[in-house]
Homo-oligomer: A and B are copies of this chain.
Amino acid sequence: MPGSESLAETLAEALPADTGTMDLHVFPDRETYVRIDSPVAQRDVLLVAALDAPDSKLVPLFLVASTLSSLGARNIVLVAPYLPYLRQDSVFRPGEGLSSSYVAHWISGFADGLVTVEPHLHRIEALSDVFSIPCETASAASSITHWVGENVARPMIVGPDMASRHWSDGIARALECPGVFLHKVRHGDRRVEISIPDLPAYTDFTPVLVDDIISSGQTMAMAVRRLRSAGFPQPVCIGVHALFGQATADLLHAAGAERVVSCNSLRHPSNAIDLGRPVVAAARSLLRTLQAPRRA
């Protein structure tokens, strides 16, 4: 899909696979036109899509997948490094719906498999709880580990919360550096309090804050300020999925961040960390699952 050409080429080269082409344009009446130019009958097709700002992107995706299916594609694998709508995973107030499960149900109807990276799973335990198609989740940890190893001297990994502790701890272990995590207490939609454990022993380490999504950046900015006032060097902020704009980048820098970088699940000026390897591995694994003989 538009904007994902680079990851599509990485996948095509590594798997290896052919690169398909299509004509996807918007008619004057603002409907989407789809024509698949490549032969897809009896083939497994990986459909690569960057799904930030999802409302306007999901309908074209649905039309492309439906067209592939009508042209006889064997399996349609959605490769969506960023999976949207996972945050509405609970009825927080009466009258709300479970958008996460509605979207997952819909996608499960037009795709045969899903590859994603670091899905934002809090109250949903596994993607298979909401998707009825095989899903493969790539981890960004190895890519982040590699980047930090190359770019940050004496890092200290700061994870977002207890729930993601295994993730940030894994990066710290791989780098053989200290790893800590924040305690976050949420008061409503916007107000969040965080506490950082007492770390006088580490103040000559550069804090590397890691989170799956950087969106408003409020919590991360708060953590940056706490670390600065505790005497730490300017932190590096890393988000897997960059959903933020310039205002958030400015906020983080104003709070004292040295750099704000992201993985390339979504195209963004802060992209610095390549997810090609884990996505290729996850796609390979999913294709094996789909190609395995199925029970009747």
List which A31-59 residues lie within 8 A (CB) of chain B: 31-37, 52-56, 58-59
Assess whether B95 is in contact with A71, with CB atoms less than 8 Å apart: yes
Interface string of A100-120 (1 = CB under 8 A from B): 001100100100000000000
CA distance A5 to B141 in the complex (A): 48
> 4 smallest A-B Cβ distances: which pairs?
A67-B97, A30-B53, A66-B102, A56-B56
Given contacts A34-B97, A63-B103, 18 further A-B contacts (CB under 8 A): A22-B95, A29-B52, A29-B53, A29-B213, A29-B243, A30-B54, A31-B84, A31-B85, A31-B88, A33-B88, A33-B96, A36-B95, A36-B97, A37-B95, A63-B97, A63-B99, A66-B102, A109-B109
User: Which residues does chain B contribute within 8 Å of A95, judged by CB atoms?
Assistant: 22-23, 35-37, 67, 71
Set of chain B residues within 8 Å of A187, measured between Cβ atoms: none
Chain B residues near A54 (CB-CB < 8 A): 30-31, 59
Decide yes or no whether A232 CB sits under 8 A from chain B.
no
A196 at the interface (CB under 8 A from B): no
Asked whether any CB of chain B lies closer than 8 Å to the CB of A14, the reply is no
A62 → chain B closest CB, angstroms: 7
Looking at the assembled complex, report how far the CB atom of A22 sits from the nearest CB atom of chain B, in whole angstroms.
Answer: 8
Chain B positions within 8 Å of A60 at CB level? 55
Residue A93, interface by CB 8 Å: yes
The size of the chain A interface, using a CB distance under 8 A, is 46
Assess A62 versus B29: contact at CB under 8 Å? Given A36-B95, A70-B97, A97-B70. Answer: no
Q: What would 5 A/B residue contacts be, using CB atoms closer than 8 Å?
A: A28-B216, A29-B243, A30-B53, A36-B95, A62-B106
Contact between chains at B215 and A35 (CB < 8 Å)? no
- Contact between B109 and A96 (Cβ–Cβ < 8 Å)? no
Closest chain-B Cβ to A210's Cβ sits at a distance in Å of 19
A98 within 8 A of B: yes
Task: Please name all residues of chain B whose beta carbon is closer than 8 Å to the beta carbon of A52 when the two chains form the complex.
Answer: 29-30
A165 at the interface (CB under 8 A from B): no
| Residues in chain B near residue A70, CB distance under 8 A | 97-98
Question: Quick one: closest B residue to A37, CB to CB?
Answer: B95
Asked if A87 is an interface residue, CB under 8 A from chain B, the answer is yes
Nearest CB in chain B: distance from A142 CB, A:
26
Contacts of A64 in B (CB 8 A): 97
**Given A29-B243, A55-B60, A35 and B93 contact (CB-CB distance below 8 Å):** yes
